[in-house]
Structures are given as C-alpha cells and as structure tokens.
Structure 1
Amino acid sequence: MTIFNLGSINIDNFYYLSHLPKAGETLSSDRYAKMLGGKGANQSVAAARAGSETCHIGAIGKDGAWCLAVLSDAGVDVSHVAVVPATTGHANICVDREAENMIVLVPGANHELELSHIENAFAQASEDDTLILQNETNLVKETAQLARAKSLRVIYSAAPFDAQAVQDVLPYCDLLVMNEVEAAQLSDALDIATKEIDVPAVLITRGSKGAVWRDQRNGREILSPAFAVIPVDTTGAGDCFIGYVASGLDLGLPVEDALRRASAASAIQVTREGTAEAMPTADEVSEFLIDQG
C-alpha cells in the first residue's frame, strides 16, 4: 500500500523573535534558520517516518534540489516531483518565545503542476492506496477526481482554508480534516452544521484539546486527547498529526490507535524546532507512548 501526497514543498525561513510583530513594527530576530517545509512535504515526511510507503507529487524550482534530498533521506519517494522554471515555494515564519507563529506563504512552483504529471504518478495506483491533499498546490480537485476513479482513500486537509476549494473536493473526499476555525468557516459557507457535511468522516483538530473523529454516517465520535508537553514551536504540528493518521489508516490500525499514535507524534514534534525535519520516527513515537503508560 502506498500513500500518494499531492502537496507543497516549501523552503521555510524561520525568524525567532521575542514577540510577533505588530503592524508597522520592525523587530530584530534572535536567530534565523532555513529548513524544509510546506504542508505537503511535512505530511509526507511524517507518513514516511511513521512507516508507510510514501510518494510525494509536487514541484520545485532549480533552487530546491536540497529539499528533495531531505525528503529522500526521510524515506519519501520523490520520483514524481517535477523541476519547473518557477522558484521553489517558500514561507517566512515568525516564532515567538511562547511558540506561537505567524506565516507568510509564496506559492512559487507549487502552483505550476501539470495534470499529465499527476496522471503519470497514479499509473500504478490501486484501491489499496491513499491520497493526501491540501490547498497549497494547484489541481487539487482534478487530483481528487483521478483518485476517486481509481478508488483510492482520499484524505483532504482543508488548509489554507478556501470555501470554494473545499466544496469542490468534498464529493471525492473520504476523510475531511479541519481545525476548529476551518470547521466553523465551512459550516458558515455551506449554511449547515459540521455533522451535516456530506463526507464519510470528519476529523477536527483542536490543538492542546486534542482531536475529534466523527463518522458522518452514524454519528459516532472518537475523542483523542492531546499529550501535555512544553512546546518550542507549533509550526507543522497539524501536518505531523495528519501524516501519522494517514499512515495509521494505511497500516490498518483501528481509528482510535491511529489517532493516539498521531497525537503522540505531534506532541514530540512541537518540542522541536522546524517542520518537516522535526517529524518523529515510529520508534520515537512508540517509546513516547510507553513512557506515557
């Protein structure tokens, strides 16, 4: 079984600050770091380190060769990452001393994918495989349609939130993942309650309050509490969680176990600086869960 991930690849520029800047304010950074990021890359690294065969579908510019090396070293198949004339996407991330962040994205190569490239990546895909999607690339709806035609499980993270983009993907979605704010925004856009959204399952992440999985067909809810840790940087925590949930389902774990494993992974990840490179391994997660009892 393979997890395919149509996802962004970003160069993350981290600026560590005393506090997040206000309008018109100029701050000196305590320090600076450059790392691999992007929701897609983060999720792919998390899924691969969780133990799933993971194939990333995306695009970089010529300036992003080192990003592929980091992905590959993490165990991600990068044979379907295209090199395009645009610059690699990047994010400027401000992180304060309370681990809160503020992010500005530049899409770059992430919006230069061609449908033929995705079709080639799916050539050997089967109904036992999974597709992860989010809103940092182009061709999200078209890729969801291709996956549905091949009967893949489709996991869609509705971020960055765009009401129309979400509505376009919902007919092809098996698991819709949102945070509490995104869930409220989608309910407002559709003028229905979250429990009425027409997908098989919804997963709502709630930060330090954990997550809720809801079977939309029978109304059953599974609560997954978060683990108490002292965070250093919360950037990418949701991506870590989604990557581990996708891997857990791919590996055949019960939903409860997949969620608990994902909660442990994200708890570890927020105690580290960075995004993709901060994703924990399956062994680290197992050790953490043993320590938790």
Structure 2
Amino acid sequence: MAIWNLGSINADFVYAVPHVPAPGETLSSTGRQVFLGGKGANMSVAAARAAARVHHIGAVGEDGRWATQRLLEYGVDTRNIAEIDTDTAQAIIMVDPQGENAILLHPGANAEIPQVTLQAAMAEAETGDWLVIQNETNLQRTAAQMGKKLGLQVAYAAAPFDAERVQAVLPHLDFLILNAVEAQQLQDATGQAPQDLPVRDVIVTLGGDGADWYGAEGKTHFPAIKVDPVDTTGAGDTFTGYVLAGLDRDMPMAQAIKLATKAGALMVTRHGTADVIPDLSEVQAFIQ
C-alpha cells in the first residue's frame, strides 16, 4: 500500500517574536530560521517517518529544488513534483514564547500544479492506496474525483478552511480531518455536524484537549498528552500524517489516533516544521 499526497511545498521563514503582533504593530524578532514546510510537505514527511511509502504530488519553482531534495532525503518519493516557471511557495511564521503562531502564506507554485503531473501519479496508484488532499493546492476536486474512480481511499485535511472547497469534495471522501473551528464553520455552511457528514471517518482535532473521532460506532474521544509546548506549527500536520500512515499499515483507527497523538505532542516541544517531525522510533519511545 502507499500514500499519494497532492500537497503544498513551502519555504517556511520562522520568526521568534515576543507576542503575535496586533494590527498596525511593528515588532522586532528575536530569532529567524528557515525550514521545509507547507501542510502537504509536513504530512508527507510525517507519514514517511511513520514508516509509510509516500509519493508527493506537487510543484516548486527553480528556487525550490532544495525542498524537493530535502523531501527525498526524508524518504518521500519526489518523482511527481514538477518544476515550473513560478516562485516556490513561502510562509512567514511568527511564533511567540507560548508556542502560538500567526502565518502569512504566499501560494506560489502550490496553486499551479500541472494536471498532467497529477494524472501521471494517479496512473501509478493502485486500488486501496490512500490519496490525501488539502486546501493549499489547486486540483483538489479533480484529484478527489479521480481517486474515487480509481478505487483509492480519499482523505482530506480541510485547512486552510474554505467551505465551498470542502463541500465540493465531500461526496468523494472516506476520511475528513479538521479542527474544532473548521468543524463549526462547516456546520454553519452545511447544517451538518461532524457525525452527520457523508464521510466514513471524521476526526475533529481539539488542540490541547485531544481529538474526537466520528466513525461507524459514533463518537470516541482521545485525550491529549500534556506537554509544555514551544511551537505548535506543524503539529496538526504531523498528527494527520501519522494517522494516515497507521491506517495505511492496517492499524485500527483508535490505534492510529493514539500513535498520532504521541507524535503531535512530541512535535510541539520542538521549534520548526517538516525538518523536526519525529520519526517512529522517537514516537514509540515517547511516554511509555
């Protein structure tokens, strides 16, 4: 089995700030680092580090060759990452001492992934593989329709949230993951609570309060592991990648969520994004 991720690839510029700035406020940073990032890249790295076979489908500019190489070094198949004539996406991330963040995103190449790149990847996918999509790229509806037609299991991370885009892919989904704010926004748009959505499995992440899984047997709550966070950036993507890797290895959903909860808890104790996502051995050793 394998995971095919139509996902974003960013250069993440992370600035340490005394607090997240208010409108009109100018702040000096106390530190700056550059990481590989993007929700898609984070999920690909997390799933690969959780021992899944991961194929990333995406695009970068000439200035993003380093990002493709970094993904390859982390065990992700990069043959379906196109190099196109536009800038690689960038994220400006401000992180305060409590680990909270604010993010400015320039979509760049993520919004211009060639359809031929997606088609070439899907030609290699096999029935039962996972296809993962999220809201930082183009071609989401096309990918969801194509994946469903080919017998793939289709997963969707509904962030950054857009109600219309979520509703466009809902009929094709087997798995939906979103946070509590996004779940409320979707309910406001559709009138459907998570348990009412036409999706086999729905996970609503609750930050420090854990996560709720809505499956065939109803709602199951999973508490968070208490840690002292230093940076919450990428924690949700790490959780998602670990859940999908577990499911791809035929773990029961509850077991996959428990493993992913450990990975997410460990992630928030680190500064950075894809480059610092914990591997499976670290997660298994964490809080035994």
Q: Structure 1-normalised TM-score?
A: 0.97
Match of 2:245 in 1: 247
SS of residue matched to 1:208: helix
Report Cα offsets for 1:9-36 as digits up to 9, x if no partner.
0000111011111111111100101110
Report Cα offsets for 1:158-200 as digits up to 9, x if no partner.
1100000000010110011110000000000012323211111
Tell me by how many angstroms 1:214 deviates. 0.5
Match of 1:226 in 2: 224
Q: Which runs of 4+ in 1 moved over 4 A?
A: none
* CA gap 1:11/1:203 in 2 versus in 1, 3 angstroms: same
Match of 1:61 in 2: 61
> AA paired with 1:221?
K
Match of 2:264 in 1: 266
Match of 2:125 in 1: 125
Q: Give distance in 2, aligned partners of 1:41 and 1:235.
A: 13
Deviates more, 1:121-130 or 1:97-106: 121-130
Match of 2:115 in 1: 115
> AA paired with 1:246?
L
Match of 1:149 in 2: 149
SS of residue matched to 1:185: helix
Match of 1:72 in 2: 72
Deviates more, 1:222-231 or 1:177-186: 222-231
Q: Give distance in 1, aligned partners of 2:262 and 2:162.
A: 29
Q: Over aligned residue pairs, what C-alpha RMSD do you find?
A: 0.9
Report Cα offsets for 1:241-269 as digits up to 9, x if no partner.
00000000000111111001000001111
Equivalences, count: 288
Tell me by how many angstroms 1:219 deviates. 4.6
SS of residue matched to 1:247: helix
Q: Give distance in 1, aligned partners of 2:54 and 2:46.
A: 9
> AA paired with 2:236?
G
Q: Give distance in 1, aligned partners of 2:10 and 2:99.
A: 20
Match of 2:13 in 1: 13
Report Cα offsets for 1:62-95 as digits up to 9, x if no partner.
1111111211111000010000111000100000
Q: Give distance in 1, aligned partners of 2:31 and 2:113.
A: 34
Q: Give distance in 2, aligned partners of 1:39 and 1:96.
A: 20
Q: Work out whether residues 14 and 92 of structure 1, in 8 Å CA contact, stay in contact via their aligned partners in 2.
A: yes
Q: Work out whether residues 212 and 221 of structure 2, in 8 Å CA contact, stay in contact via their aligned partners in 1.
A: yes
Q: Give distance in 2, aligned partners of 1:252 and 1:155.
A: 15
Q: Which runs of 5+ in 1 are unaligned?
A: none
Report Cα offsets for 1:254-286 as digits up to 9, x if no partner.
111100100000111111111101111010011
SS of residue matched to 2:164: helix
Match of 1:202 in 2: 202
SS of residue matched to 2:103: strand
Tell me by how many angstroms 1:201 deviates. 1.5
Match of 2:135 in 1: 135
Q: Work out whether residues 203 and 212 of structure 2, in 8 Å CA contact, stay in contact via their aligned partners in 1.
A: yes
Query: Which residue among 275, 282, 288 is the counterpart of 1:284?
Result: 282
Q: Which runs of 5+ in 2 are unaligned?
A: none
Q: Give distance in 2, aligned partners of 1:196 and 1:227.
A: 28
Q: Work out whether residues 12 and 93 of structure 2, in 8 Å CA contact, stay in contact via their aligned partners in 1.
A: yes
1:47 aligns with 2:13: no
